Amino acid sequence: MKRLVLIRHAKSSWKNADLDDFDRPLSGRGKREAPATALRLKQLGLQPDLLLSSPAKRARKTAKIVAETLAYPVVEIRLDARLYLQGVDALEAVLAETGDADATVMLVGHNPDLTRLAERLTGETLDEIPTAGVVDIR
């Protein structure tokens, strides 16, 4: 069985109201949250066989920080537009395409989809996954 590590992107900035949601960068807080989350994943010994990310700027940056901390090749982060606010079924479709060799899959994405996916896969009712929050499903 695969191990799935869901990671919500770190806190994004709302400073520029003219910026499209897709293009919002990490805030100062997010720039602190992402490395802290990545370090915790490293301390727990988690190493992805596959790192998936939404192509939105804040998710890409979070995924890059995670990859660098875990010595995962940044160029191998798989960006998939279906991970950007396309619903739980889209996330499941992306996961269904992962290979058998991908024993540990990390997915950096967005709420509400990540929380709903975690609920669907675990059968638990969860509070909203916070920014830079992690759900580890085995």
Give Cα 121 distance to the centre of its chain.
16
**What is the C-alpha to C-alpha distance for residues 49 and 11, in angstroms, rounded to an integer?**
25
pLDDT reported for residue 1? 59
Question: Does the pTM of the predicted model rise above 0.75?
Answer: yes
pLDDT tens, residue by residue, 35-72: 999 999 999 999 999 999 999 999 999 999 999 999 99
pLDDT tens, residue by residue, 6-27: 999 999 998 888 889 999 999 9
Task: Classify 29 as helix, strand or coil.
Answer: helix
Q: How many domains does the chain have?
A: 1
pLDDT above 70: residue 93: yes
Closest CA to 131 of 35, 13, 12, 3: 12
Phi and psi torsions of 10, nearest 5°: -70, 170
- Contact criterion met (CB below 8 Å) for 58 and 10: yes
Q: List beta partners, residue 52.
A: 78, 107
Q: Can you give the residue range of the structural domain that contains 78?
A: 3-137
User: Please, what is the average pLDDT of the chain?
Assistant: 96
Q: Decide which of 89 and 16 is more confident.
A: 89
- DSSP for 74-95, written as a single string: GGG-EE-GGGTT--HHHHHHHH
